[in-house]
Amino acid sequence: MFGNLSWNVIGDELFCESMIKGLKLEPGIDEVDLFAPNHLPDSKLDVMIYLNDTVPEPKFANKHIAYIQNVYNENINAILNRFHSCGYDGYVFISRKMLEQHINAGFTGKYIPFGVDTSNFCPRPYCSKYAFDVAYVGNDIKGEERSTKYILPAAEFNFGLYGKWDDIPLSPRFQLRFKLWKNLSAYFNYRRELHNVPTYKRVLNKVSRGRIPQEDIPMLYSNAKININCSIAACYELDIITLRTYEVLACGGFLISDRIPLAEEELSDCIVFTDGGDDLKDKIKYYLKHEDERKFYAMKGLQYVRQHATLKTRMNSLLQYIKELL
């Protein structure tokens, strides 16, 4: 099943739609479709690509490929063992580290990192609605340590924070009622519960602007003076450059990111990296004052994506891999 698209997440379905758009532009493709448990092929396909560890059904396709593009909260061996047990014909990875271990286990596969639809994620004109000093789009899934280090420091600035950040015990309506002492027992229970809520949740919930329309995200990335990136811990462990990273750069946005080894290796002149906390705060202050340096990094990032990380480039690699399997 596909993920809930009511909040700002990549989502399997959004990722699939992007892949389909890219594959349709490739010569030699007759038909591409998006399938889910309630919509399955009525005739046998040449290839079916799975974004999750669904056991392949031979009746649906001649070849079955696992595209391991999700980040699982497990160690590499556990993830690979689960996918290997499904018996796919081919494997595609967004993590070189995972591919290496996969190959060491006696399998073959292909490394294809994320690619950006540059017809959508591209520099946009000025929009006062999204002209923040700092911006970030994402849901509260990174955990207390990483959210505190890589997102919370931005709350001191003119911060365009979007996504689901409202996991606080009680709504403002109830808070107000309790503060008016209409229900002392419930009020004190609320205060005890609120005391256990991490600081980052309380602060970011207060400054969050809720959901941003998906079609407006490129406008935000283009107009914010500084975009920040906070990767989930598994991205660091698996050395994965997030799709958000490429999308910000494709919009001509300036990005300050947490440290991902591969990103530091490939994008050192496109992105400013931070250790979080006070270092992030200091870098935000510095680059808000140095527009020329922001523009230099943004220009380099835009050039990199257009040359190396477009959806067309990635889907061409995927198609070549499919042809090898066939």
Sheet holding 159-162, edge to edge: 159-162, 134-137, 226-229, 255-258, 272-274
Residues 157 and 291 grouped into a single domain: yes
Domain assignment present for residue 188? The answer is no
- The verdict on 151 and 249 lying in the same domain is yes
Residues 278, 151, single domain; the answer is yes
Q: Are residues 245 and 142 in the same domain?
A: yes
Tokens standing for residue 76: 């590499």
103 three-state secondary structure: helix
Sign of CA dihedral 266, 71, 73, 52: negative
pLDDT for position 164: 87
Residue 321 forms part of a structural domain: yes
pLDDT tens for each residue of 272-299: 999 999 999 999 999 999 999 999 999 9
> How far is 235 from 232, CA to CA, in rounded Å?
6
pLDDT at 184: 57
The pLDDT value given to residue 185: 61
Residue 319: predicted pLDDT: 95
* Residue 219: CATH number of its domain: 3.40.50.2000
Instruction: Please indicate, yes or no, whether residues 101 and 142 belong to a single structural domain of this protein.
Output: no
Same-domain status, 224 and 95: no
- Are both 142 and 231 inside the same structural domain? yes
In a domain, 271, yes or no: yes
Alpha-carbon gap, residue 51 to 65, rounded angstroms: 9
- The answer to whether residues 316 and 296 belong to one domain is no
Q: For residues 289 and 320, what is the distance between their CA atoms, to the nearest angstrom?
A: 46
- Identify the pLDDT of residue 167: 65
Same domain for 135 and 250, yes or no, is yes
Q: What is the pLDDT of residue 174?
A: 53
Q: What is the pLDDT of residue 132?
A: 98
Count of structural domains, the chain: 2
pLDDT for 6: 44
Q: How many CB atoms lie within 10 A of CB 6?
A: 9
* pLDDT given at position 196: 72
Q: Which stretches of the chain score pLDDT less than 70?
A: 1-11, 167-195
**Looking at residue 75, what is its pLDDT?**
87
Residue 181 located in a structural domain: no
What is residue 175's predicted lDDT score, i.e. its pLDDT?
Answer: 55
Structural domain boundaries enclosing 318: 12-115+310-325
* Selection from 314, 300, 291 nearest residue 249 by Cα: 300
Quick one: pLDDT at residue 83? 95
For the stretch 142-158, pLDDT in tens is: 999 999 999 999 999 99
Question: What's the pLDDT at 32?
Answer: 92
Query: Within a domain: residue 197?
Result: no
Establish if 133 belongs to a structural domain.
yes
Distance of alpha carbon 86 from alpha carbon 38, whole angstroms? 21
Instruction: Identify whether 3 is part of a domain.
Output: no
The answer on 67 and 151 residing in a single domain is no
Backbone angles phi, psi at 111, to 5 degrees: -95, 115
Q: Determine the pLDDT at residue 195.
A: 62
The dihedrals phi and psi of 235, each to the nearest 5 degrees, come to -65, -35
What 8-state DSSP symbol labels residue 52? Answer: S
**pLDDT at position 256:** 98
Distance of CA 104 to the CA centre of its chain: 28
- CB-CB contact of 277 with 149 (8 Å): yes
- Note whether residue 69 is domain-resident: yes
Are 302 and 314 in a shared domain? no
**Do 151 and 109 sit in the same domain of this protein?**
no
What is the rounded distance in angstroms from the CA atom of residue 305 to the CA atom of residue 311? Answer: 10
Contacts of 91 (CB under 8 A, 6+ apart): 65, 66, 68, 83, 99, 102, 107, 108, 109, 110
